[in-house]
Amino acid sequence: MKKAELLKKVEASKDEDDINDLLKGTDIESTFKVEPTLDAFKAKLESDKAFKSFIDSEKDTHANKALETWKTNNLPTLINDEVLKATGKKKTPEQLKIEELERKFTEKEVEAQNLANQSKIKDLLTQSGFDPTKTIEFFNTSNVENVEASIGNFKSIIDEMVSSGVKKAIADGNYTPPGENGAGELTADDLAKMMM
């Protein structure tokens, strides 16, 4: 804008007119119009308490709205989920599947441990002179630690029973010595028959 044009506008204006209104739409307005920079905004925020208070108020308003929206959208679901977890009722399909898999895994571990224990107990029974297929049922296969002592106790009980049975049979006179029909001396033929 030229000086002459500006002077004409000033002369044509009344004393009560606003100068800014005179300059609207001219190149002067766009030349002197300054956009606030980030640094200017920060300086204003630090220096002007009223401005800072206004900005804080706006932040609080937006934060409160966001919080209320979040509560409305998410809080009931979270509360229900936690209540269901605490009570154990109405579990999600994923939770049920996980529990089932954990149960199966635990069962397989116990089964594998029992098989290992049975194998060890069968070896101990065989070493002690027992038939494991007939005697394993007398022992707790889940607790191998005490089985060796239990087998020893079992063996001593059986030995005592056999020994007392033999002594009783001899004492009662029910013992039939070897040989044919319990008579006479034991011959080579008698021995051969016993070995067959």
Of 112, 114, 132, nearest to 122 (Cα)?
A: 132
| 3-state class (DSSP) for residue 162 | helix
- Whether 179 has a pLDDT exceeding 60, the answer reads no
pLDDT tens digit sequence for 88-137 = 666 777 878 998 999 999 999 989 988 888 888 888 888 888 888 888 88
Flag the least confident range among 9-23, 88-102, 141-155, 180-194: 180-194
185 vs 5, residue with greater confidence: 5
- Whether 31 has a pLDDT exceeding 70, the answer reads no
- Whether 63 has a pLDDT exceeding 70, the answer reads yes
Residue 136's CB is within 10 A of a number of other CB atoms, namely 16
Q: Cβ distance 55 to 45 under 8 Å?
A: yes
Flag the least confident range among 52-61, 82-91, 159-168: 82-91
The pTM of the full predicted model, rounded to 2 decimals, is: 0.37
pLDDT tens digit sequence for 138-151 = 777 777 777 778 88
Residue matched to tokens 């509360």: 79
70 vs 33: CA distance, rounded Å: 41
Residue 29 DSSP class: H
Of 174, 183, 180, nearest to 194 (Cα)?
A: 180
Percent of the chain with pLDDT over 70: 83
Q: Which residues contact 117 (CB under 8 A, 6 or more apart)?
A: 141, 142, 143, 144
Residues 15-44 have a mean pLDDT of 75
Task: Supply the pLDDT for residue 147.
Answer: 79
61 vs 167, residue with greater confidence: 61
Q: Element (H or E) spanning 138, and its range?
A: none
Residue 100 CA to chain centroid, in angstroms? 13
